[in-house]
Structure 1
Amino acid sequence: MSAVDDRVIQLFEQLEVPEGYKAELLRGEIVMMAGPDWVHNKIVQSVADQIPRERWDRLQTQDIAIPGEASEPQPDLVVHERGAFEGPGRLVPAPAVTLLLEVVSRTSVHRDHRVKRSIYAAGGVPAYLVVDPLDGRCVLLTEPVGVGDEADYRVERTTKFGEAVPLDLLGVTLDTTEFRTLT
C-alpha cells in the first residue's frame, strides 16, 4: 500500500459516523450509506437463522481486513467457523472467513455486484452470497482467483427467490421462500 492508502486508512479509522449510517473503506474510497431497511434486515436475519450456531459464528456489522487491499468492508453478515478468529479488534481477517453476505439496496447495486465481488475474491473469501431484493435473486460466488481489481470468482450460481441455495461450504441449504423484494 502507498502512503496515500495509509493516510486514507488512518482517516477512516478516526471517522465519526453519524447515527443511522455506516461507513466502509473500499479500495481507498470512503463510502457512507444510510442504515438498512426492513426487507434488508429480515433477509439477513433469515440467512443467519439458517446457519447452525453450534459450528458457525454469524456476525453483523463486522469489519473485514482484506490483505493487500486498501479496503475494510462491512458486509451484512460475516460467517466463520467457531475458533477461526477469536479477536481482539474490529477487523476479522478475510482468511478466517468462510462466507460473506451482502443484501443489495437501491444505492449499493454496483458496489455489491461488482466492487465487493472483486475485493472479496482478492481476499480469498471462499463464498460470497449476494441477495438482491430488487431483482428477486441470489447470486452465490465461489472459488476465488486473482489479485487486486482483476480478482473474481470462478463459479457463479444464480437462483430466484423461492428456490433453495446450496451453501455447501457450510453444510446448509438456504431456504429463500421468505425473502421479500423491494419492488
Structure 2
Amino acid sequence: MTPSTANDRPDISVEDFEELAERAPEGVELEFLNGRLVVRHGPIDVDDFKELARVAPEGVTLELINGELRVKPVPDGDHAEIYMWLMRQCMQHRPELGLYPEWGMAIKTYRKGCAKPDGTLAPLGHFAAKPEWGEPEGVLMVVEITSHDSDTHRRDRIEKRDGYAAAEIPVYLLVDREAGSLIVFSEPRHGVYQHRAAYPFGATAPLPGPVDITLDTEKLKDYAR
C-alpha cells in the first residue's frame, strides 16, 4: 500500500493555531511549521496533552499518536456518510451496542498515546460516568475511515493499527477509501494483530467475534472516490 497522493493541507488554520498557542498549558510552546502543528520543546506529556485538547478551538480535534501531537483531519461529506452507514449496520445487527463517534481513548500501552477513533463499538451505557481519555477495556472494535490527506497512510494504516493492537482491542476496522476496501484486523497478541482480511467495496465482510456482524458493503461503492 502506497501513501496517499492527496495534496498537503495545513493541519489547522493560522487563526486556530494562534488561539491554541495562547491557551496552551504553561511550559508547552507550539509552533506552526510548513502547515504542521508541532511542540517546540519535543514530546508533550499526557497531562499537558489532555489540557491542550480540552482548550482547543471548536472544530480542532487533537490526538497524541506515537508520542507526537497530531490534528485529526476534518471529515468530508463522504466520510460522514460512511460513518452513518456503518452505525446503521451495527444498530441493525447488534442493537445492544453503540458506535460512539470520536470517543477519546488512552492507549497507555503504546507510548502513552491518546486517540480519538472515528468510531468505537461498545455496549450501550459502557461510557456512562467515565472520563474522556479513559481505558479501552470493554471496547469491542474501533473504526477509522481514511481521509484524503498525506498522513493517512502512516496514521490509519500503521500507527493507529499498532496502537490499537497494543491496547488489545479485539477488532480494528479500517475503511480504506483510497483502496476501495474494508480491512479487518483481529486477534491482537503481543502488540500485533495476528489476522488481517481485506474485502473490496461491494463484498460481504464478516466481522469476527466479539463483534459478530456481517456487513453488506455494496453502498460503499457510492463513496469510493
Runs of 4+ aligned structure 1 residues displaced above 4 Å come to: 4-7
Which structure has the higher relative contact order (CA within 8 Å, separation 6+)?
Answer: 1
Instruction: Give unpaired runs (5+ residues) of structure 1.
Output: none
CA contact (8 A) 1:99 1:128 kept: yes
RMSD: 2.1
CA separation in 1, counterparts of 2:146 and 2:216? 18
Aligned equivalent of 2:120: 78
**Aligned-partner residue type, residue 77 of structure 1:** G
Pair 1:96 & 2:133 matched: no
Tell me which of 29, 35, 49 is aligned to 1:12.
49
Report if the CA contact (8 A) 2:176-2:182 is conserved. yes
1:163 and 2:207 correspond: no
TM-score by length of structure 2 reads: 0.72
Unaligned runs of 5+ in 2: 1-40
CA contact (8 A) 1:145 1:154 kept: yes
Structure 1 counterpart of 2:156, from 106, 112, 118: 112
Q: Deviation per CA, 1:53-83: give whole Å up to 9, x if none.
A: 6311210020112233311100000001235
SS in 2 for 1:159: strand
Task: Please say which structure displays the higher CA radius of gyration.
Answer: 2
In 2, Cα distance between equivalents of 1:85 and 1:38? 27
- The reply to whether residue 43 of structure 1 matches residue 85 of structure 2 is no
Q: How many angstroms apart in 2 are the aligned matches of 1:20 and 1:83?
A: 26
Share of identical aligned residues, percent?
A: 27
Alignment-mate amino acid for residue 177 of structure 2: P
- Structure 2 distance, partners of 1:6, 1:30, is 8
User: What is the TM-score when the length of structure 1 is the normalising length?
Assistant: 0.87
The question of whether the paired residues in 2 share the 8 Å contact of 1:65 and 1:92 is answered with yes
1:149-160 equivalences in 2 (<5 Å): 151-160=191-200
